[in-house]
Amino acid sequence: MARDLPTVRNNSQLNQVKALCSLMEECWRFESSKRPAAMRCQQALSFVDQAIPSRGGGDGLATTRSSGLLHALGGIQLRNGVTPKALEYFRQSLEASKSVGDEQGKARALYSIGEVYRMRNEYSSAEESYIQSRDLYSGIGNQFGFAQSVRALGDVYRMRNEYSKAEESFIQSRDLYSGIGNQLGIAHSIMALGDVYRKRDEYPKAEESYIQSRDLYSDLGNLLGFANSLKGLGHLHSNRHEYAKARESYLEAQQVYDRIGDRYSLAVTVWYLGWLHRNQEQYEEAERLVREASTIYGELGLKNRIAICNNFLTDVRQLQEKSLTMGG
């Protein structure tokens, strides 16, 4: 009978249930002032896969599905990391939109196609798709879509280490979001600017950006953005060898990721904590933390990440042996 039960620790749907239960408990708090804001609820629900209605009638129905439904199907595949299937659905959505002259649908599909390419590190193709979606959104006067595409271009430039172009894109997207009063978009853009400044070793500007985005996310009740900003601050403090501050930021981010059920980000943060202790020659704690990260990666089925952890552990053991030899 136990064999018929679902795996609890390595089950993405159950992780979503955990996050939703946590949100419900917050909503049921007796004191209304301690209940989550509407934006926080919206953000939490955005992480839950949509249920796509099924219809009988065979494979021929695929051609009659709406652009929006095809796009939703692609979104689910993308969320699950199945990029070939996601790309297939997004291309079908694009063709469906073209057949009826739906410029909005075309822009949406092109943006999502860009997301697939970016996830696969195919940055030239991603840039091309984002530029097309940006121009379509601009042409129909959709400022939100325009801002999203500009920010996505910034992400591509940042990944290609083209920091001046990335900075320009993020400043433009920040201003576009500001023009339509989209506080979440402003926070995203400011945090991205923090990443750019950190990569360019402009630490005071990076710290200012991370603090601004952290506070904006906090006001909006966006826990994921809040945790990501804390993690950015952790990176910044680590780069400046401010290890106590870095540890504090990472630990706070770790708690938030655990609370919202983001196991991957939790593992990444524990991994960075391991590196933090390694850099301080605290090898036993570094080993413990990276083993913990490796366990979470195993639950998520991320073999490549486990291999990276194993390499880290081998390196730490060699450093420990060297330290003992020198001490003796």
CATH of the domain at 113: 1.25.40.10
How far are the Cα atoms of 139, 169, 185, 186, 242 from residue 178, in angstroms, in the given order?
20, 14, 8, 6, 33
Average of per-residue pLDDT values in the chain: 87
DSSP letters spanning 141-156: T-HHHHHHHHHHHHHH
pLDDT of 23 above 60: yes
Among 217, 222, 219, 181, residue whose Cα is nearest residue 41: 222
How many structural domains comprise the chain? Answer: 1
Considering the domain boundaries, does residue 163 fall inside one?
A: yes
Residue 82 covered by a domain:
yes
* Structural contact between residues 183 and 149, judged by C-beta atoms closer than 8 angstroms: no
Q: How many H helices and E strands in the chain?
A: 15, 0
Q: Where in the sequence is the domain holding 74, given as residue range(s)? A: 66-181
Whether the per-residue pLDDT at 311 is higher than 70: the answer is yes
pLDDT value of position 42: 62
What's this model's pTM, rounded to 2 decimal places?
0.77
The answer to the question of residue 170 being in a domain is yes
Q: What is the b/e burial string over 201-233, where b = at least 16 CB atoms within 10 angstroms of the residue's CB?
A: ebeeebbebbebbbebbeebbbbbbbbbbbbbb
Q: What is the pLDDT of residue 47?
A: 54
Asked, for residue 305, whether it belongs to a domain, the answer is no
Q: What is the phi-psi region of residue 63: left when phi exceeds 0, alpha when psi lies from -120 to 50, beta otherwise?
A: alpha
Mean pLDDT of 126-144: 97
Is 105 within a domain?
yes
173 falls within a domain = yes
Within a domain: 250 = no
Q: Is the pLDDT higher at 57 or at 68?
A: 68
Residue 94 lies in a domain: yes
